[in-house]
Amino acid sequence: MYLAVGAGFFAAALFVGQALLLSVAVDRVFLQHQPLPAVAPVLAVMLVFLVARAALIWMGDVLSQHASSRVKGRLREQLTGHLLALGPAYARGERSGELVNTAVEGIEALDDYVSQFLPARLLAGLVPAFVFLVVLVLDPWTTLVYLVAGPFLLLLLALIGGRAREITQRRFQELSWLSAHFLDILQGLPTLKLFGRSREQAETIALISEHYGRTTMEVLRTAFQTSLVQEWAATAATALVALEVSLRLMNGVLGFPTALAVLLLTPEFFLPLRQMALKYHAGAAGKAAAERIYAILDSPAPAPPAAPSPPGLAALPGDLRFAGVTYTYEGGQRPALAGLSLTIRQGQTVALVGKTGAGKTTVAQLLLRFITPDAGALFVGDTPLAAIDAAVWRRQVAWVPQQPHLFHGTAAENIRLARPEATMAEVVAAAQAAHAHEFIQALPQGYDTPLGEQGARLSGGQRQRLALTRAFLKDAPLLILDEATVHLDAESEALVQDALRRLMRQRTVLVIAHRLTLVYEADLVVVLDEGKVVEAGTPNALLAAGGFYARLAASYAESASWAAGEPA
């Protein structure tokens, strides 16, 4: 960008040279009556300046656009990386459509800001200063007009520009809100159709769009007013210079070459200020977008480990231990865990049960390193989990969530998320183990079939089995099952449970479930309530104790979703 500004500055310097040479040539030809060949060298130098100036202007545009492309690319990469570092906990607290608008439209708004406004702002300081010094040498009296008119133009720009900045910021916020609301409508379309509210939402979008259009027109009006005022002020100042120079020229106080040079240079003094006024709205739009982008970038991400991770970490180095772990959501407003202490032995299957909001999913989120404890610590063997690099740790964890996310890619691509280097034979073997091979083969293009957004081609059970395929392919020593069989029909649930039993062999497993089929087979059942352990023991021991778990098992036994596998 500085190279672009340098090219613009030297282009302006060449124009100053052209103006000085032109005033000399005109004086010699028209006043001194010299023949044209006498000024041919001067005209030749002017032609060289003209070509060089055109090249510099072109170079400045190319360099500024290149700078803009680099900034946008780097910032988009940085923003995406930071959002990934912030993790799901941050994304859940924001509207997805607003984040998408910031990452796409917001960063794109920086194009004009970097390629046009920033160079114009720098040139608005450099070029007038250079012209001022040249005119100061040629005709000091004219600089008095510059000293009055220049600051006046800047004051007008600041006054009108402040309003432009406010409106532009409001426009960006409205666009973000519109994007977020539209995405909500698309994702909730079945619900809106069911309740007959789709037309109402369409009318809401129309009203928001109309309001956004009015704000856009207000921005354009303000930009026009800024440019108009600048043009009037610059024209008036140029006319004033022409008047005072002409009077002194007619009185013989000022020479013709000097008078002509000053008249030619005066518009160049005001041109960068006028250019900045024209591009001020682009600067305001870019600044509004940048404020939101840097608000995200300034959000604190989990700190990297202070010590190097255990090399390789090929397997879990020991038991998993929660030591007095506390965690709250929404800045301490919603407690999830309150001093949780829990040990998961290596190779053990531990089931977490409890009512909704007891903190079960928070335990999984902590193990996945999506969130970090407010107090207390997690240990893997004798190593604090926080001391292990998150990427290294997650390679040891397979996760089957309640609602697995499938991307708009093929079945094979979605499965290979677990291990990108896996061969096709390994992918097929994992799918067979998860009872997914049959339905994948039945798709129009088999493993190469695009699944659509969120796996639109698949049923809930099929999506769950695809998530299990990922877990089989990853073959990690720690397995976390978060409500993996909820919302499935009996046939799908039976297939998923059979695959889960095979997947759980010879691994450390954490099961989070309302349905107790897998819980009955756990080595240890831990009952959570308000973020604390209230019961712990084997399934049979807890049933005999007649506490919370026994009541939960009795309620489950009476439900229509009772599955085989009740313990003796």
Q: pLDDT tens-digit profile of 427-451?
A: 999 898 888 898 899 988 999 988 8
Return all residues near 440 (Cβ < 8 A) that are at least 6 apart.
411, 431, 446, 447, 449, 466
Residues 70 and 150 in one domain: yes
Return all residues near 269 (Cβ < 8 A) that are at least 6 apart.
127, 128, 131, 132, 135, 146, 150
Looking at 264, 297, 330, which one is the last position of a domain? 297
CATH number for the domain that contains residue 414 = 3.40.50.300
Q: Which of 46-50, 488-492, 532-536, 547-551 has the highest mean pLDDT?
A: 46-50
Report whether pLDDT(453) > 80.
Answer: no
Residues 381 and 284 in one domain: no
pLDDT band at 264 (very low <50, low <70, confident <90, very high): very high
* Average pLDDT across the chain, whole number: 83
pLDDT band at 564 (very low <50, low <70, confident <90, very high): very low
Residues 427 and 489 in one domain: yes
Residues 334 and 415 in one domain: yes
How distant is the alpha carbon of residue 337 from its chain centre? 30
The CA distance from 85 to 80, in Å, is 9
Residues 272 and 405 in one domain: no
* Number of domains making up the chain: 2
Domain-located, residue 177: no
In sequence order, what are the beta bridge partners of 378? 322
Domain-located, residue 230: yes
The CA distance from 461 to 34, in Å, is 95
Which domain range does residue 348 map to? 320-558
In sequence order, what are the beta bridge partners of 379? 321, 384
Residues 411 and 546 in one domain: yes
Residues 357 and 274 in one domain: no
Domain-located, residue 307: no
* CB distance 472 to 426 below 8 Å: no
> Given this model, what pLDDT does residue 229 score?
77
Domain-located, residue 567: no
Residues 31 and 142 in one domain: yes
The pairing of beta strand 320-329 with beta strand 375-380: antiparallel
* CB distance 289 to 99 below 8 Å: no
Residues 362 and 235 in one domain: no
Distances from the Cα of 359 to the Cαs of 87, 533, 548, in angstroms? 18, 10, 16
CATH number for the domain that contains residue 44 = 1.20.1560.10
* CB distance 507 to 538 below 8 Å: no
Count of CB atoms situated within 10 Å of the CB of 124: 23
Residues 360 and 406 in one domain: yes
> Given this model, what pLDDT does residue 138 score?
92
> Given this model, what pLDDT does residue 560 score?
39
Domain-located, residue 176: no
Q: Mean pLDDT over residues 384-391, rounded?
A: 85
Q: Which of 174-188, 307-321, 515-529 has the highest mean pLDDT?
A: 515-529
Residues 111 and 250 in one domain: yes
Domain-located, residue 69: yes
* CB distance 83 to 92 below 8 Å: no
pLDDT band at 66 (very low <50, low <70, confident <90, very high): very high
The CA distance from 469 to 463, in Å, is 10
* CB distance 15 to 53 below 8 Å: yes
> Given this model, what pLDDT does residue 128 score?
93
Domain-located, residue 208: no
* CB distance 537 to 567 below 8 Å: no
Looking at 251, 282, 297, which one is the last position of a domain? 297
Looking at 257, 282, 297, which one is the last position of a domain? 297
Residue-wise pLDDT for 172-193, tens only, equals 777 777 777 777 777 677 667 6
Q: What is the 3-state secondary structure (H, E, C) of 103-133?
A: HHHHHHCHHHHHHHHHHHHHHHHHHHHHHHH
Domain-located, residue 403: yes
Residues 349 and 472 in one domain: yes
